[in-house]
Structure 1
């Protein structure tokens, strides 16, 4: 029996089983111990294989592919700290629901805890963060292939959201020309190899019963809060709320069109809060709210009931409201709970929102973070998509811009970290091949700088807009100690991203005005490949503008 050949057959069953559950993209990092998995993926014509030399970026590439593609994505890495580098993307997927299958190659048991090279304790290494974990045995013909395939099928059938960690130990030798070793073991699966269905089907239907008293609640004064939604869901929620006559407060990720724009400004106005507090029921669709004022109001409101509808399990309500947690697909829930045409009740919110929007248009910052954030919809590519990073700019966009309804917007707002943002954006584009605008801060870009390598292979125009305010200026909005703020919080790096773009052979532009920026963007959407656009802005101008606008709108 050839160990290297049987390793390959074992891995081939694992990878083929994944194809039966919608896995089409496989992200692979270089490594020796993972050779059986890598070669099995390469030989399977159902897969599109992506590579990256950095496992942390690779995990986030897979995360982005899963975000926009909507299907589970597999990741293959070698043993040791390579597997540990997948932790951030796994954590994010667990919070936002993307399905990642982490195939971590491992040393066999006899090489663990004995001083062997590149051997760490990988079994259970991700603790509670995967939705499920499989620790496979070392490949052996003593275990039937039907056990292996049904084990994979069972885990995939139960994976509704988050990560599945499959730890795969392989003994050496790992290399060698394949022979007939283990062929009867593999052929025992019969015509399964020629079919396209799982060996074992486990149905885990997601459903939510219709609320029997909905006819009663839809006649009350209600408010709709929209968090992270898909483009289709955002449009449906907006239409549903409009029919009911309920005000809709839409997050930048809601894709509802934000019918009451600049909510994070006007929610600082006492008149608005007073009127919203008249609501008898609040229904929130989707989690992950961005705006600080929205979160503050959400935490302090006291309706008779607070309902939260999302397809992810868990409470998802840090304010612990009295009400209902409804686990369901948003579109299905809306169909089961039709709106009844009613006149709008919160009449003062629309004029207040319009006044806040007008103040944004009058702001004195001529060319900087705040202006770019408020005008961001004008920079979006036609039939494209937007990825927003977790820096000051996402809060400025949420507070100052009105995003178009149904326009795809993605982010990593689960754990809200700045790691892996460039690689996630690259994955978001690769899954659907749409023109893509990604907006991140300078520290975020530095944190994932080597993932600029992924932008050398763009299936459509891609613009990475780096807003360089020389550090983490979001800390200027917080009561951080002034004397220590620069050294320990903002950490200015005084960098120029032209060098990073040149290192990876990417187009680079540094416009100095709004007119130059629009011209650069228009040209970039007509140019194949990626363009890095760096906006060097005054360090604290964006935070000052936001604080000034908040003060003005609070007194309207």
Structure 2
């Protein structure tokens, strides 16, 4: 990145703006050059500093919650934090859902929240709430930055920025919060000030951070009991949770050498892969043939996975060793089966694991044959004319078949991610897949998809339900400048509740859980100047989606379905797969 055009940040109209310019410049020097900004008065110095910086990029969005989720999406796609800038008061609290998600998933974010000075706190001053440590344990680190003053060293502000970014990016990464107090005047009025610290002037003349924090190099210290178990395993199994593309390749190289089957989550970057020994349809195999395929050693690499049958299969497998490998101390072990937690990177773990194996070829072959049976059964069933002309499973299937290799795929929580896990083909493009599965909320999904598009400078395909769309409808404003093909499955409510026990209680099921709304998204698309389409058959959907992708701009494709019929389609597909596995 070229910083040669950046002016001296100390050349500011007043002390407040000098401090703000120095904060933003220190962020840029440290690699954080994209800021998601929502309008507000108290944050004027920070917003102005971003707007006037020759390198910093600003993404403007009126809603602080959406801006925070867009920053989350940016970090998901890049692995590096973006800044989120907001004014004081409830504007800050609007960031909590995104911060909770980032904290659960270890996604780096820099939260720059403006605040009133100490003398206005607890006085009933307008737009003032207690923002100190507002995000609690959801952030990795936080600091209250005092108002600019000759009594507070500017160097302390710079080193605080550096410390925050270090906590955001060192394992385990996550969001960090700087609560920055400002006194009026907030606008860039001319006022005389002096900064007499030679260290700060020396920093201003160079283009490197005030304090440099090399990220620690992790080492994998594997206990003998684990290495011996891996060496002696006859039925070794890998479960791939959320991974980056690089981590997925490192894991696959080791698994291929060991002949261990890989059961991939949709966010593992391996679920859409047809490469051996990946088992794309592990969800169905775990559901219907678990008793025949019990492992003796399991390596769970990465984050959580969405498939409940896979979770139950691993819970009941009675593996003598179950090791989780991830660069964080937090457990991913809801069923309490973990015997070893290895806190390191995937690369370090794969380098440290032994390369000799006792796995018989028949073990890998069993998984492959089962996977082929499921793959053939689904391919056959999706061509069956008995299915509805267009269903929720067939939409997920069609997207996996036709998504361009230049796109990323963002999946909303609830049914979209589950349908992609169950029904996506492994014969299409193996594109990067993202989802907010740390806290698994449905809020902020459109904004997250937009952040991914901004980070990759490429289109994103979004599969989302109607309720998740309503939760984040104002984020559609971001789609004007950033290409997202939003495929909205509208089943007039919460379709996932039809798969839960509450569906049997008709006296409360409708409307208290399904929450029907009776709305179409056509007028909403028109309000945001988005091309709108409503295909009614599988062939029409495929043509509409491919045409939207070829245009390279945003669009909203609405698919109308029936919730009860959708539950029946899932039951039919499940029964067809079960029969195929029992007949093989």
Q: Same fold (TM over 0.5)?
A: yes
Residue 153 in 1 paired to residue 162 in 2?
Answer: yes
Q: How does 1:464-475 map to 2 (within 5 A)?
A: 464-475=486-497
Deviates more, 1:238-247 or 1:462-471: 238-247
In structure 1, the residue matched to 2:351 is 335
Look up the match of 1:451: 475
Q: What is the match of residue 217 of structure 1?
A: 230
Equivalent position of 2:32 in the other structure: 23
Whether 1:197 and 2:208 are equivalent positions in the alignment is yes
Q: Distance in 2 between matches of 1:67 and 1:216?
A: 34
What is the aligned residue count?
548
Q: Is the 8 A contact 2:230 2:354 kept in 1?
A: no
Question: What corresponds to 1:287 in structure 2?
Answer: 303
Which residue of structure 2 lines up, in the alignment, with residue 387 of structure 1?
410
Partner Cα distance (2:198, 2:538) in 1: 64
Counterpart Cα distance in 2 of 1:46 and 1:71: 16
Preserved CA contact (<8 Å) 1:61 1:427: yes
- Indicate the SS of the match to 2:138: coil
Quick check: 2:405–2:431 contact (8 Å CA) kept in 1? no
Give the TM-score of the pair, scaled to structure 1: 0.94
Following TM superposition, by how much is the alpha carbon of 1:203 offset from its aligned partner in structure 2, in angstroms?
3.7
**CA distance 1:541–1:114, shift in 2 (3 Å):** same
Whether 1:544 aligns to 2:563 is: no
1:13 is the counterpart of 2:22: yes
1:336-382 CA distances to partner (integer Å, 9 max, x unpaired)? 33544654342433222222223323434242111122332212113
Instruction: Choose which of 84, 101, 107 in structure 1 pairs with 2:116.
Output: 107
Q: 1:266 to 1:549 in 2, by over 3 A?
A: farther
Partners of 2:338 and 2:487 lie apart in 1 by: 42
1:377-411, CA deviations, whole angstroms, 9 ceiling, x for partnerless residues?
A: 21211322111111212111101223458520011
**Partner Cα distance (2:183, 2:13) in 1:** 8
Q: Which runs of 4+ in 1 moved over 6 A?
A: none
Match of 1:169 among 165, 181, 200: 181
TM superposition shift of 1:96: 1.1
**Contact between 1:465 and 1:532, CA under 8 Å: does it hold in 2?**
yes
Query: Is the contact made by 1:393 and 1:441 (CA closer than 8 Å) also made in structure 2?
Result: yes
SS in 2 for 1:361: helix
Asked if the contact 2:378–2:577 (Cα under 8 Å) also holds between the matched residues in 1, the reply is no
CA positional deviation for 1:156: 2.0
- 1:400 equivalent in alignment to 2:413: no
Counterpart Cα distance in 2 of 1:553 and 1:253: 23
Q: Give the RMSD, CA atoms, in angstroms.
A: 2.1
For 1:150-549, what aligned pairs fall within 5 Å after superposition?
Answer: 150-159=159-168, 160=170, 161-182=173-194, 184-185=195-196, 189-211=200-222, 213=224, 214=227, 217-220=230-233, 221-256=235-270, 257=273, 259-269=278-288, 272-277=289-294, 279-337=295-353, 339-340=355-356, 343-346=360-363, 347-363=365-381, 364-365=386-387, 366-403=389-426, 406-458=430-482, 461-480=483-502, 481-549=505-573
Residue 136 of structure 1 deviates from its aligned partner by 1.3
Aligned-pair CA distance for 1:331? 2.5
Bigger shift: residues 145-154 or 65-74: 145-154
3-state SS, counterpart of residue 128 of structure 1: helix
**SS at 1:525's partner residue?**
helix
Compute the displacement of 1:185 (Å): 4.6
Extract unaligned runs of 5+ from structure 2. Answer: 1-11
Q: Secondary structure at the match of 1:326?
A: strand
Distance 2:51 2:374 in 1: 55
Q: Secondary structure at the match of 1:375?
A: helix
Q: Cα–Cα, structure 1 residues 181 and 102, in superposed 2: closer, same or farther, change >3 Å?
A: same
Shift in alpha-carbon separation, 1:541–1:218, aligned structure 2, 3 A: farther
The residue correspondences of 1:33-182 to structure 2 (distance < 5 A) are 33-159=42-168, 160=170, 161-182=173-194
Contact between 2:104 and 2:138, CA under 8 Å: does it hold in 1? Answer: no
Tell me the alpha carbon deviations over residues 313-350 of structure 1, each in whole angstroms, 9 at most, x when there is no partner.
31221122242111222123223335446543424332
Unaligned runs of 5+ in 1: none
- Residue 144 of structure 1 contacts residue 185 of structure 1 at CA under 8 Å; is this kept in 2? no
Question: Could you say if the C-alpha distance between residues 29 and 522 of structure 1 is closer, same or farther in structure 2, counting changes exceeding 3 Å?
Answer: same
Residues 258-297 of structure 1, C-alpha deviations (whole Å, 9 max, x = no match): 632322222122xx322332x2210011112101101212
Change (3 A) 1:188 1:212: closer
With normalisation by structure 2, the TM-score equals 0.89
